Amino acid sequence: MPPPARMTWGVSALLLATGDALASRFGAVAVRGELSGFSRPASGHCYFALKDADGAPALLRCAMFRRAATLLDFAPADGQQVELRGRLGIYESRGELQMVVESMQRLGAGTLYEEFLRRRARLQAQGLFDASRKRALPPFPAALGIVTSLAAAALRDVLTTLQRRAPQVRVVIYPAAVQGAEAPAALVAALALAGQRREVDALLLVRGGGSLEDLWAFNDERVVQAVAACPLPVVCGVGHETDVTLADLAADLRAATPTAAAELAAPAQGELADALAARRAALMRSVQRALDVRAQRLDQFTLRLGQPARGLQGAQQRVAELGRRMQRAVSQRLARHDEELPRLAQRLGQAWRVRLDASQLRLAAAEQRLQANDPHRILRRGYAWVEGGDGRPVVSALALRPGQSVRAVWSDGTALAAITAIEPGSRRE
């Protein structure tokens, strides 16, 4: 007997049959969990996902159409714990399991989330989340500190990542409880100890995923203040990618997961080696280019030195040309001087004659003046020169005394006389 023929489904038919099977098998269902990725576009429909509060990697896509959304008595938001009622089906466009929600009720965690929002607003007003106070991580850390529980899976993830990516980085662990009533004080003490010791370049504050209650220690205001006040750069990797705590917002850098925090804090050794090799290659290329340029210049100098006769010949030609130019210049200067010499000689003769005539005229005038002032010529006109016994001229009658001997000089002789009387000129008048 031949085997029965195998049925081959079309994609749409298979998805439709699967949806019918889910509807008939489960009917109306109720499920509780934490809202994630909630959105409400202009159409009024709501789209979101529901995840387990314990952080398990399970996600259920949900759609709540406008008719059901208008019946909500609260504003849904990420992180709220809710209970949904609806039907399971297949979203054919993507082939995904989807829950069409007919009603949504808020659970007690909603109050916790509201407290989270109040704390976030209060701390943000204090400036703890400002981007201006964020510090850059050291690009090449020598040591990293880890603040977490020794029993946390996040610690193993971080250590494994660091060992794989950056085995050269030294790791210092600052143990602290990450869940429970004692966790905030323990986290604050660990952060303060790391800041006091200053033995690492940056801190990793990490914890695995969980519900809002599980992560509540990282929303404690004391922990947030300690993260902001820490003198070391802090990378916060708490929970999963969708989990956001107040410590994340206060840290210098937020990582989606503890593993991502380790990857952000320490560059991979292989990447550093590749970057170093690239820089070495670039440096070698730069040095080689410089050597090539200098080699070309050396070749040019070698060619010039290899033909000294050509350079000497050129120099000799330049010297000969300069000699010819100098000879022509000297000849031209001499020719000009030969032309100017007779004219200069004529001008010199004329100048000497003029000066000589002028000197002779001045000499004749001086001779005439000298002759006019000659005393002998005056004496020849009838005047006499009278001088005392000491040979000094007598220029005034008042200078004589009766009985004094004087000497009178005429042009043709002299005579000695004695003064018998003196008559002043006023009596003659």
pLDDT tens profile 63-74: 999 999 998 888
Nearest to 265 by CA among 315, 312, 205: 205
3 state SS of 328: helix
The pLDDT value given to residue 2: 58
DSSP string, 193-251: HHHHH--SSEEEEEE----TTTTGGGG-HHHHHHHHH-SS-EEEEESSTT---HHHHHS
Go through the chain and tell me how many residues it has: 429
Burial label for 152, CB within 10 Å (0-12, 13-18, 19+), is buried
Look at the pTM and tell me if it is higher than 0.85: no
Q: pLDDT tens, position by position, for the chain (429 residues)?
A: 555 667 788 788 888 878 778 777 887 889 988 888 899 999 999 999 998 866 667 889 999 999 999 988 888 988 788 899 999 988 887 888 889 999 998 876 456 677 888 899 999 999 999 999 999 999 889 999 999 999 888 999 999 999 998 899 999 999 999 988 899 999 999 999 999 999 999 999 999 887 777 888 999 999 999 999 999 999 999 988 777 899 999 999 999 899 999 999 988 777 777 778 888 888 888 888 888 888 888 877 777 766 666 667 777 888 888 888 888 888 888 888 777 888 887 888 888 888 888 888 888 888 888 877 777 777 777 778 788 777 788 778 777 888 888 888 887 888 888 888 887 775 444
The rounded mean pLDDT for the chain is 85
Spatial contact of 371 and 377, defined as CB atoms under 8 Å apart? yes
